[in-house]
């Protein structure tokens, strides 16, 4: 994220390949064997947008368990981070066309439907844990449950 108040923006990107092609997505991806979620976040942001972030600049924002009852091989556990310090200017990769979006105008209609349910918590600086269960179409949200933290 960059800026504050009415000028705050979040870096996301248009997915060009793989899971989620054609949607605006947050940057990040899978954790490689032997990596921590923090190491994966640093690597993925560099690969996707040519921006360098340091592990110590990551702020944990939450965790999300995605459950796909009709495609259980897609089930995934994710950790969400934010960062306000980075090096470099975002530039496109084969996978992502990055862009800054105003925090008060996040393009939820172009994102996965679940994003509008948890992303406002990230942008508000909340730490959360959620379980998102997808519907039969593997896109619509059947249920989202936020766990009480602390």
**Cβ-proximal residues to 50 (8 Å cutoff; 6+ apart), any chain:** 88, 89, 90, 91, 93
- Rounded to whole angstroms, the Cα distance separating 29 from 13 reads 13
Which pLDDT tens digit goes with each residue over 20-48?
899 999 999 889 999 999 999 999 999 99
Confidence grade of residue 150 (pLDDT, cut at 50, 70, 90): low
Which pLDDT tens digit goes with each residue over 47-77?
999 999 999 999 999 999 999 999 999 999 9
Global pTM value = 0.89
Backbone angles phi, psi at 65, to 5 degrees: -100, 120
Confidence grade of residue 96 (pLDDT, cut at 50, 70, 90): very high
Residues spanned by the domain of 94: 5-147
Report the pLDDT value the prediction gives residue 66, as an integer from 0 to 100.
96
* CATH classification at residue 60: 3.90.79.10
For 78, counting Cβ atoms within 10 Å of its Cβ (0-12 exposed, 13-18 middle, 19+ buried), the class is: middle
Number of domains present in the structure of the chain: 1
């Amino acid at each position: 994220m960059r800026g504050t108040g009415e000028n705050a923006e979040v870096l996301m990107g248009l997915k060009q390949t793989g899971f989620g092609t054609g949607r605006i997505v947050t940057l990040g991806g899978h954790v490689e064997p032997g990596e921590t979620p923090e190491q994966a976040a640093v690597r993925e942001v560099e690969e996707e947008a040519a921006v360098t972030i340091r592990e110590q600049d990551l702020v944990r924002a939450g965790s999300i368990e995605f459950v796909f009852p009709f495609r259980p091989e897609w089930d995934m556990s994710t950790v969400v981070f934010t960062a306000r310090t980075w090096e470099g200017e975002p530039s496109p990769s084969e996978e992502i066309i990055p862009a800054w979006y105003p925090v008060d105008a996040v393009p939820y209609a172009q994102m996965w439907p679940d994003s509008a349910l948890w992303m406002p918590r990230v942008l508000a600086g909340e730490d959360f844990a959620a379980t998102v269960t997808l519907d039969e179409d593997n896109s619509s949200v059947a249920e989202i449950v936020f766990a009480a933290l602390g």
